[in-house]
């Protein structure tokens, strides 16, 4: 699955000349926590978050009165508080690579580019939705967590055992095991009772960790 399948297309954006109060009001109105910043030629020049805008406001301990603060903020432009070193991805990048980039850089969103053109934005919320789909969280079934040997053909045996009982595999996720000899397998299956499912796959597992 590529970023293009999960991103918000034609995202909202602002210009660097916008004032900080106007940017905050725009974010609040549109219920977004971050905005790409494009120049007059629609080139990406930065990204600004709600936190950036809040941090730009004078401290509550300031000696300025309300009118002075409002005046200063009205003169403060987005270009002064935005992050100019923007980490981006191309639209054909796979979602797990986008997630890795976010984690490694400590950011919650990535502008998505087609060449020099901004075509979307992908956020941690978009990736959470992918996570929900991968685990079949919105569908009913029996969820098994088990350790299986790291050998060719082990998953085929488990799949065959489920198929022989007319089970429908909703999701199948493989994770690192306790060491290089095994893997953790999380499978969600419909149409097979829990006890029957456990009995069917147990001969092909090292350990069944959880059933729910």
Q: Are residues 112 and 60 part of one domain? A: yes
- Picking from 97, 98, 116, 108, the residue whose alpha carbon sits closest to that of residue 49 is 108
Residue that finishes a domain, picked among 104, 131, 158: 131
Q: What is the pLDDT of residue 208?
A: 97
β-pairing, 182-190 vs 168-176, is: antiparallel
- Radius of gyration, CA atoms only, the chain: 24
Q: What is the pLDDT of residue 65?
A: 58
CATH number at residue 183: 3.30.70.260
The boundaries of the domain holding residue 203 are 135-211
Q: Which two tokens stand for residue 137?
A: 């969280």
Residue that finishes a domain, picked among 131, 159, 188: 131
Q: pLDDT tens digits, the chain, 212 residues: what are they? A: 999 999 999 999 999 999 999 999 999 999 999 999 999 999 999 999 999 998 876 544 455 556 666 666 677 899 999 999 999 999 999 999 999 999 999 999 999 999 999 999 999 999 999 999 999 999 999 999 999 999 999 999 999 999 999 999 999 999 999 999 999 999 999 999 999 999 999 999 999 999 99
Q: Are residues 106 and 58 part of one domain? A: yes
Our CA angle for 116, 117, 119, nearest 5°, is: 140
Q: Are residues 143 and 72 part of one domain? A: no
Q: Are residues 120 and 15 part of one domain? A: yes
Task: Give how many domains the chain has, as a whole number.
Answer: 2
> Does pTM surpass 0.85?
no
Q: Are residues 36 and 70 part of one domain? A: yes
């Amino acid at each position: 699955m590529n970023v293009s399948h999960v991103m918000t297309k034609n995202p909202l954006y602002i210009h660097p000349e916008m004032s900080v109060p106007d940017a905050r009001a725009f974010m609040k109105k549109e219920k977004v926590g971050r905005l790409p910043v494009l120049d007059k030629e629609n080139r990406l020049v930065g990204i600004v978050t709600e936190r950036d805008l809040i941090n730009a406001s004078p401290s509550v301990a300031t000696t300025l009165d309300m009118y002075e603060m409002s005046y200063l903020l009205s003169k403060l432009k987005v270009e002064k508080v935005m992050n100019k070193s923007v980490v981006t991805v191309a639209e054909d990048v796979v979602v797990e690579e986008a997630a890795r980039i976010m984690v490694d850089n400590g950011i919650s969103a990535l502008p998505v580019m087609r060449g020099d053109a901004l075509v979307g934005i992908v956020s941690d919320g978009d990736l959470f939705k992918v996570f929900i789909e991968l685990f079949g969280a919105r569908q009913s079934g029996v969820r098994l967590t088990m350790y299986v040997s790291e050998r060719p053909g082990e998953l085929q045996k488990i799949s065959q055992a489920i198929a022989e009982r007319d089970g429908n595999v909703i999701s199948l996720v493989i994770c690192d095991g306790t060491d290089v000899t095994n893997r953790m397998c999380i499978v969600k299956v419909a149409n097979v009772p829990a006890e029957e499912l456990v009995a069917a796959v147990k001969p092909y597992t090292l350990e069944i960790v959880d059933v729910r």
